[in-house]
Structure 1
């Protein structure tokens, strides 16, 4: 429920108390003003609510959603990961009835609209080097994106000149996707992103749900140290997704690391192949990029 949903529920179920509150305040003269006051007080008292009731949780998207759960934060993470292993089972809580695979095309759509990027899914299962359960999680990102820095240039002379002087014509982006981020898993997810995205110009951790203000605060601190950004994915309307924390750009690609990834994974190798073709021809085949 949003804060407004809760305020309306209070107004409907506690009319006498609401009437008394309105009488005590000279500023609350209408029903709408009373409801707006309740909304403001719910938001202002969030820290006290969290301390009084561990079961109350909120998301960090807008509008912020409040919900009640008896699961600990660690249990929520474990349930999410369990769902990844068993795609035929659906957990009871609505926001967990989702797979990471469902988020890849939604993130790709947002990146295409917001930044004109071409995205490619990197499937770690296509790696030749098997490192045991989850061994490749820390090596390969979920998505890689290509940005054509010359896409709005009108002059072919400029494009040819940039090619000849070997100036930069593109940037590569790397993304690690999660369904849920909370205080229990935020550092592990962040450093997984640091590990598997250190070769790219931009690195982002993207999630459908970001739970609690402390989680977002931790991500801002980590961003200041390591430069990995944060994207909130709107699963219902990808165009409403947003970059909450911008990533810090690296000026150079780590080609040694890219060589390792490309030599072991066919998806990553195909990305590098397309980068090479772009340098040769200056053109991009959009239908070759899929997520």
Structure 2
């Protein structure tokens, strides 16, 4: 006899007597070999479980399920197993279970030299910090541009005649990058950080969300990978103790076409971005990269000393 995903969730929540997320319910299902109880598993059974519980809570006044609103990711429990006092304890414990960003003595801007070093050394990208405080004040510009922009120029790698030929015919010889920096990524700030990156990197060839610490919780990493794959945003983790160990956790998806309209809007809004665009144009015209005009690339020893002051 087969049962629905909703019935499966009820069975497992009653058996475990604890709040669980849809992913945890499905993982428990596999651990106990309960998969055959449901007729159709589909590609994402945990989403089906979550959807069926949500619909039941919304449309059925007699639903046996409860949402634990404070939990991230959101979890479900059974009404019959919890009185109000117990629910309050659950809510408090779930809030405590959310991994919060650690208290640090540095700020996000202190991470800029680390990203510049990583981008230059491992991506062959020259970066430029874009100071938000220099942007014109307007509501629509809040998430308009990222913390750092970058460019990969083929100068020095390509023959000058080939480079000029490619530029004349509009070939994609130059790659433009967008970087949004955070001190740490956990469930508590993932959504806002990620969609801020999506918003302010839509114009670039590649967009990255960068942090000095990324939660290693399995469920968090699965969600981070899902978002990265869905929206094409890359994830970089900076190692502030050993900058050479910084790495791309998930690569960005390359977009062939730049969003010229948005780039023009950023140029009008922010003088740093305008200077960056002018710098790239001048380097292409002169066939020479003037590194001094981009963010300074420090030595590893200097970086570590800077962050530990």
TM over 0.5: yes
Question: Partners of 1:108 and 1:270 in 2: how far apart?
Answer: 17
1:226 aligned to 2:231? yes
Equivalent of 1:97, from 91, 96, 105? 105
C-alpha deviation, 1:136, in angstroms = 4.7
C-alpha deviation, 1:71, in angstroms = 8.4
Cα deviations across residues 49-103 of structure 1 (Å, max 9, x unaligned)? xxxxxxxxxxxxxxxxxxxxx98476834xx6xxxxxxxxxx4xxxx23211111
Higher Rg of the two aligned structures: 2
Deviation larger for 116-125 or 156-165: 156-165
1:73/1:182 contact within 8 Å kept: no
1:181/1:215 contact within 8 Å kept: no
List gaps (5 residues or longer) in structure 2.
Answer: 1-93, 297-309
Equivalent of 1:117, from 118, 125, 129? 125
Equivalent of 1:210, from 207, 214, 230? 214
1:264 aligned to 2:269? yes
After TM superposition, list the pairs within 5 Å mapping 1:30-179 onto structure 2.
Answer: 72=96, 76-77=100-101, 91=103, 96-131=104-139, 136-153=141-158, 155-179=159-183
Question: Partners of 1:278 and 1:73 in 2: how far apart?
Answer: 51
Question: Partners of 1:73 and 1:190 in 2: how far apart?
Answer: 21
Equivalent in the alignment of 1:282 = 287
C-alpha deviation, 1:164, in angstroms = 2.7
What secondary structure is seen at the aligned counterpart in 1 of 2:120? helix
List gaps (5 residues or longer) in structure 1.
Answer: 1-69, 81-90
TM-score (ref. length: structure 2): 0.61
Cα deviations across residues 17-57 of structure 1 (Å, max 9, x unaligned)? xxxxxxxxxxxxxxxxxxxxxxxxxxxxxxxxxxxxxxxxx
- CA gap of 1:111–1:267, structure 2 versus 1, over 3 A, is same
TM-score (ref. length: structure 1): 0.65
2:155/2:284 contact within 8 Å kept: no
Equivalent in the alignment of 1:88 = none
Equivalent of 1:238, from 216, 238, 243? 243
